[in-house]
């Protein structure tokens, strides 16, 4: 079995956003964490895997911030970065990212038995597709350590948060749309895209003949193969709908204990809904069309 060339893996790790999030400018890991493995007892990767988990969580969050403002831009810096600044609050103020992560990680009924292989397939199966990327000055041995740690995490984590493979997918496609997105402000390549570039990502994700879907399918046996590609088509469609639904609900200001609102939801501010809060009824009854209150054959 031929090991994949380190440069290809570097490109891959950069494209899913991990390289930058971990050790790029403003990265979350100390470079020394990737040094030659310390003379640790047991699994030399275990410490790094532990360090990597919060990095991946932050990367996922940053990626989904980029999605939240794509569906509902606001006054935040992510909206400005995508080129759609606004003077009214948007999805981030509505805690749309928390809504999405909570939904994806805890409630999207996506079995772990499927989420895990998708994550693994993304990490192990999709090497560089020949896109030239600005590199980071990481030594092959450091790169190898990071790569092994990611694989160890994806293969051993009992429950992979679904937000991670979804964020990875968005970032992979982001760097396909714009290779320069591997570097820049924010942790995630997807969050660095312009509005039109993000739309292009969804165009690729939604496409019926998505290369990504085809590549992932290779990693699953029948009869699961087409189920996995089908699920990705569903996710490609559902991400936008879920993100929008969440951003326009009362999610951020609902007190579960009292079942009351603690403030006016962003979605209500944007739409003028219920100006004086929840109601028991409206004075909306006009009468009956042409005065008819019943009909018969």
- Taking CB under 8 A as the criterion, which residues in 110-129 touch other proteins? 110-111, 113-114
Closer to other proteins by CB, 45 or 67: give it: 67
Of 9-17, 21-29, 162-170, 271-279, the window that binds other proteins (rule: CB under 8 A) is: 271-279
At 277, give phi and psi (nearest 5°). 90, 180
Number of residues that bind other proteins (CB under 8 A): 80
Range 219-238, binding other proteins (CB under 8 A): 223-224, 226-227, 229-231, 233-234, 236-238
Residue with tokens 């004086």: 276
Beta bridge partners of 254: 261
Closer to other proteins by CB, 140 or 207: give it: 207
- Dihedral angle sign, alpha carbons of residues 224, 229, 233, 239: positive
Three-state SS string over 214-281 comes to HHHHCCCCCCHHHHHHHHHHHHHHHHHHHHHHHHCCCHHHEECCCCEECCCCHHHHHHCCCCCCCCCC
H helix or E strand, kind and range, residue 136: none
87 touches other proteins by CB under 8 A? no
Kindly state the smallest distance separating residue 267's Cβ from other proteins, in Å: 4
206 touches other proteins by CB under 8 A? yes
Kindly state the smallest distance separating residue 26's Cβ from other proteins, in Å: 27
207 touches other proteins by CB under 8 A? yes
Residue with tokens 């990611």: 150
95 touches other proteins by CB under 8 A? no
Interface with other proteins (CB under 8 A), residue from 13, 33, 103, 115:
103
CA-based Rg of the chain, rounded to a whole angstrom?
23
267 touches other proteins by CB under 8 A? yes
């Amino acid at each position: 079995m031929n090991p994949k060339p380190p440069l290809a893996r570097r490109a891959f790790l950069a494209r899913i956003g991990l390289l930058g999030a971990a050790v790029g400018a403003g990265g979350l890991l100390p470079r020394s964490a990737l040094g030659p493995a310390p003379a640790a007892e047991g699994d030399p990767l275990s410490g790094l895997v532990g360090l990597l988990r919060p990095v991946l969580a932050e990367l996922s969050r940053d990626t989904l911030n980029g999605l939240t403002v794509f569906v509902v831009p606001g006054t935040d810096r992510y909206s400005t970065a995508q080129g759609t600044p606004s003077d009214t609050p948007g999805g981030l103020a509505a805690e749309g990212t928390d809504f999405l992560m909570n939904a994806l990680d805890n409630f999207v009924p996506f079995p772990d038995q499927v989420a895990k292989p998708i994550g693994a397939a993304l990490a192990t199966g999709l090497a560089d597709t020949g896109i030239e990327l600005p590199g980071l000055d990481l030594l092959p041995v450091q790169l190898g350590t990071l790569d092994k740690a990611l694989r160890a995490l994806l293969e051993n984590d009992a429950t992979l948060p679904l937000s991670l493979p979804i964020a990875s997918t968005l970032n992979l496609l982001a760097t396909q749309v714009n290779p320069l997105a591997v570097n820049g402000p924010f942790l995630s390549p997807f969050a660095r895209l312009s509005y039109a570039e993000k739309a292009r990502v969804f165009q690729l994700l939604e496409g019926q003949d998505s290369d990504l879907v085809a590549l992932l399918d290779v990693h699953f046996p029948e009869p699961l193969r087409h189920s996995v590609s089908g699920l990705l088509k569903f996710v490609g469609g559902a991400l936008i709908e879920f993100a929008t639904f969440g951003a326009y609900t009362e999610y951020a200001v609902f007190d579960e204990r009292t079942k009351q609102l603690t403030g006016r939801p962003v979605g209500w501010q944007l739409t003028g809904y219920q100006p004086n809060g929840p109601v028991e009824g409206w004075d909306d009854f006009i009468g009956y069309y042409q005065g008819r209150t019943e009909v018969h054959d």
